[in-house]
Amino acid sequence: MKSQTRITLTALCFLLPNFIGFMTFTLVPVLFSLGASFTNWNIMQTVTFQWVGLANYVKLLTDPQFWVYAVNTFYLMLGMPVSIA
């Protein structure tokens, strides 16, 4: 049992740098962006966050230009791999 604990501890020591990098450069920014999407924060003016809830998403989904860009992106994401192949 003691050797299994040592193997597990060694494995965790090797995995820890990757886990710390993932947390620092991927998970934390994604969670921050998700939280900031529910505010009207302007990065160029102030550091205050004002909660607006789903208003940003309602504005996005009711904007006709968004759907044009979404269709173009979808077409590009399907068309590029096909043309490369």
Mean predicted confidence (pLDDT) in 54-82 = 93
- Strand partners for 51: 39
- Residue 7 corresponds to which amino acid? I
Q: pLDDT grade, residue 49 (50/70/90)?
A: confident
For the whole model, what pTM was predicted? 0.67
Where are the alpha helices (H) located in the chain, listed in sequence order? Answer: 2-22, 28-36, 55-62, 64-84
Q: Residue 28 pLDDT > 70, yes or no? A: yes
pLDDT mean across residues, the chain: 91
* Higher local confidence (pLDDT), 65 or 85: 65
- Predicted confidence (pLDDT) at residue 74 exceeds the cutoff of 80: yes
Closest among 44, 64, 63 to 55, alpha carbons compared: 63
Cα separation values, 73 from 43, 55, 59, 76, 78, Å: 26, 23, 19, 5, 9
